[in-house]
Amino acid sequence: MSAPKDIVLKGGQLFFVRVLVFLSLVFGLRYVEWRWFSSLNMSQWWISIALVAAETYSLVDGLLFGMAMWRSGYRKKPEPLNRPATVDVMITTYNEPIDLVMKTARTAKAITYPHTTYLLDDGKREELRELALAEGFGYITRGEEWVNRPLHAKAGNLNNALMVTSGEFLLILDADQLPEPNILDETLGYFNDPKVALVQTPQIFWNVKEKDVLGSQAPLFYGPIMRGKDGWNAAFFCGSNAILRREALMQLALTGYVQDVATVLKETLRGSKKVVKQARKQAAGSPSLAAALQEISAAARDARRAVRRGTSLAEVTYEFQRRVRAASRGTIHDDLVQMRRDLESLGDVGAAASLALLEREDAIVSRLSELDASPLQALTSLKEMVDTFDVGRAHEGQPLMPLATISVTEDMATAMRIHALGWKSVYHDHLLAHGMAPEDLGSALQQRLRWAQGTLQVMLRENPLVKRGLSLAQRLMYFATMWNYLSGFANFVFVAAPVAYLVFNERPVHAYSTVFLLHLLPYIICNQGMFMLISWKRGQKNIPTWRGQQYSFALFPLWIRAAFTTVANVYFGRPLGFVVTPKTREETSTGQMLKLVWPQIATMGILLLSTIIGMVKLYLGIAPSIEGTWLNVVWVAIDVLWMSVVFRAASYRGFEAPAP
């Protein structure tokens, strides 16, 4: 499959990139094959297998990266949009400073293409509402329908706004992202293609020093990587600075609604036997309830059969609810008959009361047979099952959810679903908005933890490798981003291996010999050469593209934490606790910030101590080998160098620079 026609794959540099991608594949597979089948030291299997597994993980990561680089080209400038269009500019906000939000709104108002600007305030701040209305901005916040229902953070905020606006296209901005006046003029032309649903532009931050101590800028991601994903029609929504087609989102909402209702009903029907069994225990001693449960059990059985026959879910739902109401009426009628008998046994007064009850019986039965008032609703397990058969999705703030709510980062999941429906995306590699990056280590760690958790939530809930509608290339491009957040486990092994060798004489290979280096070095040289080549002369002057690699390694404890907390959330229902990245600097000391990275500090201490032990053993002549000791000392030095960035990060307190 060829790249999109409007993507230019530049000749010279791309040719050498592809050569290095191919050589990385060849030498990488050769090295890993040799490691698995010819070099394992099974007498110390625990570290040997762990290390080769980590190396295999890294090879897969590198090959997925190389696949993206294979098509890392540049989009041709689109023609202007060939017709008039309505655009809603949506600025999402929760607790950001009001001055910051209003500055973004005023900047958005200056966008030259005709549009309407809305402030989507999840904080319900009266001051912001008054300012917005006074300056002619739309102001949207949640209604009563969201009370005591899941809010879904930013995704819910946008979904709420989509139901009360009507623009054909949406420009979504975070509260700190200041758009350029021409942002719509440069991007709307892509929508001349009726299948384009999303245009993503880069995110760059004006409040970051050139050395980028916190690694906030992402010139590698918002450059070669996103351009490469774009080459495979897999550039995804990054949460802000993006233009989306409302039609695609509403199609996604309707499709998602049908799929979610179908999934929930089918799961409920599969578990209906257990539910009715639990309800029978609760209803023990009540013949009328037992009879009703017998009828409901039969209704559930018939509903399961109807679903297997392909009967529409609406018909299945209607028939099931009709039979539940009928069973409820029967229960209430039996109870009223018994009540009249009891009253009549009390004499003349009771007989009169029984007659009055009889005269109103039809009205009483009709009222109490409604699901919300039925005696059956007292049976907890049954109530939950019956409530599931509400196609109005009463448990949600609104039935239709255009943006995905399965993750604390709504962007990737939404884009993946859009691609699965057959829509296209575009990455426009031109800076058209400037935002604010975290100004201290604590805020940066919160942001990265949320990104990792959100991405892993998507992987566990809607793994792209098995998602219908995606091409093979799209599956791999989405999976590559998710796979990267599992690097914490591999990096832990890369830290533990030299310690095991220098301190405990544990050797993961038979020998650190010339044969080992001949297999390893060609792969490393080609892999790093590819990275250096695609990073060369990238966009922003003096922004180090290797800073992202450094943080990817240094934050391995954070990635491990993200993996465990996400598994606990997805499979055991434990909350993650969504936190909006602070837009103001935390007034904390360097010592307090260092506490946030104590695992890295402890790891560096262990690495340095293991180096001392290894050198002492070498001096005493009791080291496993001279070559192995020096190789592992160099290995330790590289690990410590990469992790040492946390010291500078802990003392960083932002950059006083004029806003654009």
Q: Tens digit of pLDDT for each residue in 59-76?
A: 999 999 999 999 988 888
What is the C-alpha to C-alpha distance for residues 250 and 254, in angstroms, rounded to an integer? 6
Mean pLDDT over 114-133 rounds to 97
Q: Is residue 58 in a domain?
A: no
- Tally the domains of the chain: 1
Cα separation values, 306 from 87, 266, 318, 653, 655, Å: 44, 11, 12, 63, 64
Tokens of 629: 């000791």
Bigger pLDDT: 371 or 6?
Answer: 6
Mean pLDDT over 549-563 rounds to 94
Bigger pLDDT: 648 or 137?
Answer: 137
Q: Is residue 77 in a domain?
A: no
- The three state secondary structure string of 109-121 is HCCCCCCEEEEEE
Q: Is residue 315 in a domain?
A: yes
Bigger pLDDT: 245 or 362?
Answer: 245
How does residue 392 score in pLDDT terms, banded at 50, 70 and 90?
A: low
Mean pLDDT over 31-35 rounds to 95
Query: Is residue 94 within 8 Å of 123, Cβ to Cβ?
Result: yes
How does residue 370 score in pLDDT terms, banded at 50, 70 and 90?
A: low
How does residue 542 score in pLDDT terms, banded at 50, 70 and 90?
A: very low
The SS3 of residue 196 is strand
Q: Is residue 371 in a domain?
A: yes
Q: Is residue 322 in a domain?
A: yes
Cα separation values, 69 from 17, 21, 423, Å: 7, 8, 22
What is the C-alpha to C-alpha distance for residues 378 and 183, in angstroms, rounded to an integer? 57
Query: Is residue 30 within 8 Å of 523, Cβ to Cβ?
Result: yes
How does residue 294 score in pLDDT terms, banded at 50, 70 and 90?
A: confident
Query: Is residue 72 within 8 Å of 7, Cβ to Cβ?
Result: no
Mean pLDDT of the chain: 86
pLDDT at 281: 74
pLDDT at 364: 43
What is the C-alpha to C-alpha distance for residues 343 and 352, in angstroms, rounded to an integer? 8
Burial class (CB in 10 A: 0-12, 13-18, 19+), 536: exposed
**Residues of the chain above pLDDT 70, percent:** 83
How does residue 656 score in pLDDT terms, banded at 50, 70 and 90?
A: low
- The three state secondary structure string of 369-417 is CCCCCCHHHHCHHHHHHHHHCCCCCCCCCCCCCCCCCCCCCHHHHHHHH
Q: Is residue 416 in a domain?
A: no
122-131 LR contacts (CB < 8 Å, sep 24+): 122/92, 122/93, 122/94, 122/151, 122/153, 122/154, 122/156, 122/157, 123/93, 123/94, 123/95, 125/98, 127/98, 128/93, 128/98, 128/101, 128/102, 131/98, 131/102
Domain coverage including residue 295: 284-378
What is the C-alpha to C-alpha distance for residues 509 and 465, in angstroms, rounded to an integer? 33
What is the C-alpha to C-alpha distance for residues 482 and 266, in angstroms, rounded to an integer? 29
Please, what is the end-to-end C-alpha distance for the chain in angstroms? 42
Query: Is residue 511 within 8 Å of 41, Cβ to Cβ?
Result: no
Mean pLDDT over 386-411 rounds to 81
The SS3 of residue 467 is coil
How does residue 445 score in pLDDT terms, banded at 50, 70 and 90?
A: very high
pLDDT at 538: 47
Q: Where are the alpha helices (DSSP H) in 310-388?
A: 313-344, 348-359, 361-368, 380-388
Q: Is residue 442 in a domain?
A: no
Q: Is residue 310 in a domain?
A: yes
